[in-house]
Structures are given as structure tokens and as C-alpha cells.
Amino acid sequence: MIKYLLRYREILLVVIIAVLLAAFSTRSPGFARPANLSNIFNDTSILIILALGQMAVILTKSIDLSVAANVAFTGMAVAMLNAAYPGLPLIVILAAALGIGAVLGALNGILVWKLNIPSIVVTLGTLTIYRGMAFVLSGGGWVNAHQMTEPFLQTPRQIFLGLPLLGWTAILIVAAMYLVMSRTLLGRAIYASGGNPAAAVYAGIDVGRTRFLAFTISGTLAGLCGYLWVSRYAVAYVDIAAGFELDSVAACVIGGISTLGGIGSVAGAVLGSLFLGVIKNALPVINISPFSQMAISGAVIIAAVVFNARQERRRGRIILRDRGASEQIEGVT
């Protein structure tokens, strides 16, 4: 039974999350009530969406550290757009968010694809550039709630069947990503590019282009999160979502997505995000200082990496240096 559980990371995570919920509700009886659970899910929605984008990138044996900076830039851009032109319908704002996010993501993808630069270096660089651009764009200023229009602020808060639209957006994205990953050529190409790049090339898959598309997906979802973040917290400033890129990586690693690429599932990314979401929401309940959250995420990431490596039972190869794979590709082309 335990072996079975260990083999299926998703089931194990569900059990752990259930145990956590049960444990926390002994401290605070209301914790596991449906209303609070729906709250936690809504609170975790943005992380879930970002983690799904990160998952697509990690599956191709890359990493995207620029997602949080993308959220900050896109969030700032759409908030300023909304403040400057209050007449613009929300659909235009949403399209702008997706578009800006996609462009920023595609920029990462182009550098990784065409110049073959390791993704870690590209996105470490664009991380500072995008956030710096948010500063240049806003002049260091804030966009506050009173400058934003009603539909901009209120739409994600509309409650439908007990869950705000923000939560439904996450569910929609989860469903879409599930379909993409399991039912489309792109999804298969993403798994193949990370699982065995050489074999992928033999099978006629353009690994570089697949990575580019994964980065574009990640960027587009980050752009969407930019709007959602600004609307949810009703404020836009340069430092929003600072450090959130680590949370998205953590959610993936906890969810069993291998940083060696090719291994992982949509359900894993979602459960990994929910695990972090439950812990974040539980800290105040069990009287632990919110300052300890960072250390807890760090410890959980390390534990998850150790656990993943045990499970994969093979030598960890690093994302930074994709030499083995590129050599093999070379041999083919």
C-alpha cells in the first residue's frame, strides 16, 4: 500500500494535504469548512496558474525564473492602461495582459531556442530586466484602487456557485492545460523534448521550437496572472510578486515534476500549489510568524528534491548544462 502511494505522487500529496487539513482543523475548528477551503483555493489560484506555466517549461528541461517579474510588469502595464483609459472594456485589458505576457515569454523562448543559451541564465537576466522595465514604466509610482475601474477590480471577485471567478479561472486553465498536455501534439512534444531530447529529434520534434512554445505558454499565463494579481490586491507597484518565481518552481518540485525534464503531471503542479497554499493559510492559525514562510518553502523544496531523486533512482543531471542532450542532438542533425 505504501509502495503504491509512493509510486503515485498525486495520491500521496492528496493524502498529505488531507492530513494537514485535519491537523489544522483540530487547532481551529473552522479550518476545513467548505467556505474556508474555497477561500484557500481562491487564494492559491494565481500560484496554480503560474505553476502550470512553469510546469510546461520544466518538462522541456528548462526553467523560467522571470515569471514573477512578468507578473509585475504586465500587472503594472494593465493597471496603468485601466487608470489612463477607464472606458476600455475589460476584454481589451485581458487581451493586453495575455499579449504582453506572451511577448515577454516569447522573448525568453527566442533566446533559448535560437541562441541555445541555458534557460537559467536567460531568465535570470530577463528577471531583472522585466522588473526594471516595470519601474521605468511607472516611474516608481503606484496605481491604487481608486484609480481602477469597477469592472477591473470586481470581475474576478464575482461569486459563481460559491467560488469567485478568480478560482474558476484557475479551474479553466487547469482543464485547458490538461487537454494541451495529454491530448495535443504540443503536449506530447513537450514531454518528449524533456524526457529524451535525442529521441525527440529522431521522432521529428523540433526541441528548440517546443521549448520556445513552452516559454510562450508560461509567459502568457504569467501575463494573465499580472491582471489577476493587480485586481485581487487592488494595487500595482514595482515589487508585486517579488520572489514568487521560487514559489512556482517549489510548487512544481513538490508536485513531483522532475527538474531533469519529461516527468510530471498537471495534477502534480496543482496539488503542489495547493500544498503551499494550505501551509500559507494555516501559519496564522497555528500561530507561526508569517516571516517563517520563506524558510518553510525552502525546506520543503529541498525535501521534495531529495524525495524526487530517490524516486527517479537515477543520477541527477542539471538543467544548467544540457550538454549531453545537445551533443546527441548534434549527432542527429
Partner 1 sequence: MSTMQEKRNIPDRLGTSTARLLGSWEMLLLGVAILIFIANAFASPYFLNAWNLSDATFNFTEKALVAFAMALLIIAGEIDLSVAAIIALASTAMGAAAQAGVGSFGLVMIGIGVGLGCGIVNGTLVSVLRLPSIVVTIGTMSLFRGIAYIVLGDKAYGGYPDSFAYFGQGYVFWVISFEFALFVVFAIGFAILLHATNFGRRIYAIGNNEFAARFSGIRVERIKFILFLLTGLMSGIAAICLTSRLGSTRPSIAQGWELEIVTMVVLGGISILGGSGRIGGVVIAAFVMGLVTFGLGLLNVPGIVMSIFIGLLLIVTITLPILIRQIRQRATA
Site for partner 1, rule CB under 8 A: 63, 111, 115-118, 120-122, 124-129, 131-133, 135-136, 140, 238, 243, 246, 249-250, 253, 259-260, 289, 291-299, 301-302, 305-306, 309, 315-321, 323, 326-327, 329-330, 333
3-state DSSP call for residue 229?
Answer: helix
**Nearest Cα residue to 189 out of 261, 250, 290:** 261
| Separation CA 64–CA 55 (nearest Å) | 9
| Separation CA 122–CA 208 (nearest Å) | 14
Shortest Cβ distance from residue 211 to partner 1 (Å)? 14
Shortest Cβ distance from residue 95 to partner 1 (Å)? 27
Residue type, 169: T
Q: Write out the three cell numbers for 188.
A: 506530447
| Separation CA 149–CA 214 (nearest Å) | 33
Of 40 and 238, the one with the shorter C-beta distance to partner 1 is 238
Of 91 and 115, the one with the shorter C-beta distance to partner 1 is 115
**Nearest Cα residue to 145 out of 69, 232, 228:** 232
B/e letters for 142-166, b = 16+ CB within 10 Å, e = fewer, are ebeeebbbebbbebbeeeeeebbbb
Of 128 and 182, the one with the shorter C-beta distance to partner 1 is 128
Shortest Cβ distance from residue 248 to partner 1 (Å)? 11
Cβ–Cβ under 8 Å, residues 326 and 198: no
Shortest Cβ distance from residue 265 to partner 1 (Å)? 18
Of 249 and 267, the one with the shorter C-beta distance to partner 1 is 249
Cβ–Cβ under 8 Å, residues 318 and 62: no
Of 179 and 318, the one with the shorter C-beta distance to partner 1 is 318
Render 172-223 in DSSP notation, one character per residue.
Answer: HHHHHHHHHHHHSHHHHHHHHHHH-HHHHHHTT--HHHHHHHHHHHHHHHHH
Shortest Cβ distance from residue 36 to partner 1 (Å)? 26
Shortest Cβ distance from residue 136 to partner 1 (Å)? 7
Shortest Cβ distance from residue 295 to partner 1 (Å)? 3
Of 123 and 231, the one with the shorter C-beta distance to partner 1 is 123
As a whole number of Å, the end-to-end CA separation of the chain is 46
Of 148 and 269, the one with the shorter C-beta distance to partner 1 is 269
